[in-house]
Amino acid sequence: MATVPITAAELSSALSEHDIVLLDLWASWCGPCRAFAPVFEQAALEHPDVLFGKVDTEAERDLAAGFHVTSIPTLLAFREGVLVFAQAGALSSAALERLITGVRNLDMTQVRHQAGLTESDEKERA
């Protein structure tokens, strides 16, 4: 699957409809963002079960601000609607592959417990 643009209006449904969501927060004027784009695109083709979303921080300023993004590119990873990774800076293809593997292997019961989330919290967010 190719990458898809994500807006604030689409974020909630993207997170609820996909087990794993990776978001690349970027801008067209950003050199490191342009360098990371082909790495992100290739990973999207190699992992069709993962939603690879692109958030244009110029068009989606409120969404970027909501995630406290101060530097781009920023990569966010969600599993079962829970933010499990956030990092500014471009990743190599090997590092992105390790991240995807790590997110797949998370014990989400343990993650929710450590984050203090309960099932009722999850149902309210859905």
pLDDT 10s digits, 86-99: 999 999 999 999 99
For the question of residue 118 being annotated catalytic, the response is no
Which of 11, 21, 22, 30 is catalytic? The answer is: 30
Amino acid letter for position 113: H
**Side-chain half-sphere of 13: how many Cα atoms within 13 Å?**
5
Per domain, the residue ranges of the chain are 4-125
User: Given this model, what pLDDT does residue 120 score?
Assistant: 54
Per residue in 12-60, pLDDT (tens digit) is 999 999 999 999 999 999 999 999 999 999 999 999 999 999 999 999 9
Model confidence at 126: pLDDT above 50: no
Partner residues linked to 69 by β-bridges: none
Q: Which CATH number, 3.40.30.10, 3.40.50.10610, 3.40.50.300, 3.90.1150.10, labels domain 4-125?
A: 3.40.30.10
Q: Is the pTM of this model over 0.85?
A: yes
For the question of residue 114 being annotated catalytic, the response is no
Which of 33, 39, 50, 96 is catalytic? The answer is: 33
Cα gap 120→23, rounded to integer Å: 26
Contact 105, 121 (CB under 8 A): no
Q: Which residue has the higher pLDDT, 125 or 91?
A: 91
